[in-house]
């Protein structure tokens, strides 16, 4: 790893120094640190499987160089909730059967969270379609995904949550 340097960042609330070479992507760095919930799909920005939040905005980690996120706060889908305390989006994906093979699911949930945080907390179907347009799913046909995001948004509004 020639020319590697340590890039400080926060990942899921934990301060870390990530050793990375200049051309290393955030996807490579995160998976190298065993954040395997960040999925590697096309590795060229087409599928959205690798999406994470960087300072609250969804980005494709395969298109993001690790050196460019120095000092940033990174959130993977595991940073949103856990098995014991799932985030409303995670729970809704389960309840609505919106995950089949599940490979796309982390990226879809990250994209949905970014929409709810940054664009609208009361999305209609068009809002959800636009927000998830960069995320490909080969299994679900999307209908249950849209239902899950809509349900989670409603539950979060009713709970008065912002995230």
Q: Which is nearer to ligand FES, 72 or 137 (CB)?
A: 137
Most distant CA atoms of the chain, gap in Å: 51
Q: What is the DSSP string of 97-161?
A: T--SS-SSHHHHHHHHHHHHHHT-SS--HHHHHHHTTT---SSS-SHHHHHHHHHHHHHHHHHT-
In the complex, what is the shortest distance from the CB of residue 135 to ligand FES, in angstroms, rounded to a whole number? 8
Q: Which is nearer to ligand FES, 11 or 47 (CB)?
A: 47
Hey, which residues between 40 and 79 contact ligand FES (CB under 6 A)? 40-43, 45-50, 60, 62
Hey, which residues between 9 and 38 contact ligand FES (CB under 6 A)? none
Tokens of 52: 């994470």
Binding residue (CB under 6 A) for ligand FES from 119, 138, 143, 157: 138
Per-residue x/- track, 98-137, ligand FES (CB under 6 A): -xxxxxx--------------------------------x
Pairing between strand 73-75 and 5-11?
Answer: parallel
**Residue 61 DSSP class:** G
Q: Which residues bind ligand FES (CB under 6 A)?
A: 40-43, 45-50, 60, 62, 99-104, 137-140
């Amino acid at each position: 790893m020639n020319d590697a340097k340590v890039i400080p960042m926060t990942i899921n609330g934990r301060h870390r120094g990530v050793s990375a070479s200049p051309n290393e992507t955030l996807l490579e760095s995160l998976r190298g640190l065993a954040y395997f919930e960040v999925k590697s799909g096309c590795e060229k920005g087409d599928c959205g499987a690798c999406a994470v939040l960087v300072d609250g905005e969804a980005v494709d980690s395969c298109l993001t160089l690790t050196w460019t996120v120095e000092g940033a706060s990174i959130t993977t889908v595991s940073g949103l909730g856990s098995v014991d305390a799932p985030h409303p989006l995670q729970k809704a994906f389960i309840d609505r059967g919106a995950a089949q093979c599940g490979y796309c699911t982390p990226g879809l949930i990250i994209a949905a969270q970014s929409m709810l945080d940054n664009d609208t907390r009361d999305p209609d179907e068009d809002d959800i379609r636009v927000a998830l347009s960069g995320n490909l799913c080969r299994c679900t046909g999307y209908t249950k995904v849209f239902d899950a995001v809509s349900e989670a948004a409603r539950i979060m509004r009713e709970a008065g949550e912002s995230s």
